Structure 1
Amino acid sequence: MISTAPLHLWQGRIDQAEGQAARRWHQWVQPWAADQAAGIALLGLACDEGVKRNQGRTGARQGPAAIRSALANLAWHGTCALYDAGDVACIDDDLEGAQQAYAERLGQLLEEGHLPLGLGGGHEIAFASFLGLAEHLRRRQPCPRIGILNFDAHFDLRHAAHSSSGTPFRQIAEYCRQAGMPFDYCCLGVSELSNTQALFDQARALDVRYLLDRQMQSWNLPAIEECLDRFLEGIDVLYMTLCLDVLPASQAPGVSAPSAHGVEVQVVEHLVRRARASGKLRVADIAELNPGLDQDRRTARVAARLLASLIH
């Protein structure tokens, strides 16, 4: 089910004395409708069925609403149009149906020239985002070279009978194999202790580029930038996804699996901006916010800042 834009979440301070230069997100965002001028389009996947199937702590279906609420009062520094395209909800545990509906709506946004930014929800959003992008591009060329940049403590390459928050990149690899497309996957912030040897073996078999969380520190920034730049040079189109459990638990407590180590938000934001500056970004999303586990809305605020860094 696709709901309309929940405009009641877009509320915040209004600084009338400072005029138009004091606008905030809630004053700039508009409901999406077909055939509007191209801009940024927010699209939520209100779902945590994938987290449930992956034996995680549920509650991420409330993530899109919490991210909107955190975005609402941020100062707006952009010039492009900003739309809220609503939420795709997972009904009756039909994760696969929700992913397909999300992919179709995302494809429509791409057809209209928008940059879709996804709001999760569990990381099952990743397969839906990639599916929408790939189907859109393949209508123009049979084998587009899509790079997948994932900031995550987990590879999410699990083998399972059904889709879950732990399987999206294995599903993408299978899609690419069947479509005759290259599988270009870079995962930054991997926790060695949160991924079994089987998952590392799978990553190597699929030629996944990755850096461990302990390598993703500010003292190592030149090497990280070189790794990212090499990846970006070899692709035509970028899909970027951020799983909030890549951050330290102190910065992102409101996730299904808080990180004991993680990558500092300053490093993640810098790399997000660097990837955005490549000019190749076509779709991005942010996942795994669980508001019921958040403390002082810390995780929601970090999610909002990272999302804003894709625009400003």
Structure 2
Amino acid sequence: MNLYQPNDGSQWTGRIDAEETRPALRWHQKIQCINLDQSETLAKPEAYRDHLALLGFQCDAGVVRNKGRPGAAEGPQSLRVGLANAACADQQIFDAGDVTCLGDNLEVAQTELGKRVDQLITLNLRPVVLGGGHEIAWASFQGLIPTLREKKLDLGIINFDAHLDLRTPSPKGSSGTPFRQINEWCKANNQAFNYCVLGVNPSANTQALFDYADEHSVACMDDIAFETNEPLQTQAFLDQFLNRVDALYITVCLDVFNAAFAPGVSAPAALGISPTKMLHTFQQLLKHAQLKEKPVLLLDIAELSPPHDRDGITAKLGARIIWQYQQFYPTTVAPK
């Protein structure tokens, strides 16, 4: 079975507003599905320049290996549902389909996802990867490697997450190991490992993980500091990180939020951070990255578990983050 499947568009449905004098478009009206296995798609990169492209990672293997509660494989579809009725201007948005992990064949699926992320970047698209557990990060990073090598970029990874995800693969990777795997690749390839984690839950990470983070100059801000710091304090913290990198990969693990806002995750948080504070920080991060000419190469959303998602509110929160990202990079309809 081919691990990659394009989307036929049937998932994208929603309300249509009968406004006659003002724009009243929604995402389901602007989505265009593309097939990354079609030569016609790959032959016209200029038609896609700077447009957003969704790519799903239907995977539970990393969460299961990490002893979490499964359900993340259903995340991409729920995020699409959460986005379908979101308002948009006359912007073209693309859906590149899904990569599916079959059983425990995680490493094969991660390689496939990396290949597809690289294809999207080659097509001048801005990938947003929909998880799946946080094992998505090692897969997403693999898709960035060709660009980092070609352009000789020092990548900065900013992770909104309750967990450091720096565990040792033993013997295989999981949703708890992706940034350790990235660091090991960086060491083997003489690349800097620039990693920043916002919203860390100190009680959910062992001292060994914090020691490893200190040894490798990981920038950390715990959940209480994230919530109580003045905005300028947090921005100064992020600016210091931005100053040492050339480009960004932003990843959001939905278990960083308080369970009242995000019950549908593998590991719900009793404390966590608030969506309002996170979205404000996210917007400021995008603004300062742009001012400093640090392009965001990739955004992904991880750990949505629809079977545990009351009223779909976690999916709606993940969708809002993607919507906010698109609002910061407005694009018109793609040329024919």
**TM-score grouping bracket, smaller chain normalisation:** over 0.9
2:162 aligns with one of 124, 138, 153: 153
1:61 aligns with one of 62, 66, 73: 73
Q: In the alignment, does 2:106 pair up with 1:74?
A: no
Matches within 5 A, 1:81-120: 81-120=92-131
Tell me, what secondary structure is at the counterpart of 1:42?
strand
Describe the shift of the 1:140–1:95 C-alpha distance in structure 2 as closer, same or farther (beyond 3 A): same
CA contact (8 A) 2:235 2:285 kept: no
- C-alpha separation between the residues in 1 aligned to 2:132 and 2:19? 38
Match of 1:124 in 2: 135
- C-alpha separation between the residues in 1 aligned to 2:228 and 2:314? 21
- Structure 2 unaligned blocks of 5 or more: 35-40, 328-336
CA contact (8 A) 2:148 2:155 kept: no
Query: Residue type matched to 2:7 in 1?
Result: A
Match of 1:5 in 2: 7
Cα RMSD (Å) = 1.3
Match of 2:272 in 1: 262
CA contact (8 A) 1:189 1:263 kept: yes
CA contact (8 A) 2:53 2:127 kept: yes
Q: In the alignment, does 2:17 pair up with 1:15?
A: yes
Tell me, what secondary structure is at the counterpart of 2:220?
strand
Taking only the aligned residue pairs, the percentage that are identical comes to 44
Length-normalised TM-score, structure 2 = 0.89
C-alpha distance after superposition, 1:240-268 (max 9, x if no partner): 00000000000000000001111110111
Matches within 5 A, 1:1-312: 1-18=3-20, 21-32=23-34, 33-34=41-42, 35=44, 36-38=47-49, 39-77=51-89, 80-141=91-152, 144-160=153-169, 161-277=171-287, 278-279=289-290, 280-312=295-327
- C-alpha separation between the residues in 1 aligned to 2:146 and 2:136? 15
- C-alpha separation between the residues in 2 aligned to 1:218 and 1:106? 36
1:62 is displaced (CA, Å) by 0.1
C-alpha distance after superposition, 1:72-129 (max 9, x if no partner): 011113x543100000000132100111000001001101111100100100111111
- C-alpha separation between the residues in 2 aligned to 1:17 and 1:114? 31
C-alpha distance after superposition, 1:163-218 (max 9, x if no partner): 10000000000011111100000000000000011111111111100000010115
1:16 is displaced (CA, Å) by 2.6
- C-alpha separation between the residues in 1 aligned to 2:76 and 2:322? 12
CA contact (8 A) 1:121 1:289 kept: yes
- C-alpha separation between the residues in 2 aligned to 1:80 and 1:181? 36
Which consecutive segments of 4 or more residues in structure 1 shift more than 4 A? none
- C-alpha separation between the residues in 1 aligned to 2:284 and 2:232? 12
Describe the shift of the 1:140–1:225 C-alpha distance in structure 2 as closer, same or farther (beyond 3 A): closer
1:284 is displaced (CA, Å) by 0.7
Describe the shift of the 1:181–1:219 C-alpha distance in structure 2 as closer, same or farther (beyond 3 A): closer
Tell me, what secondary structure is at the counterpart of 1:283?
strand
Query: Residue type matched to 1:37 in 2?
Result: Y
Tell me, what secondary structure is at the counterpart of 1:308?
helix
Aligned residue-pair number:
309
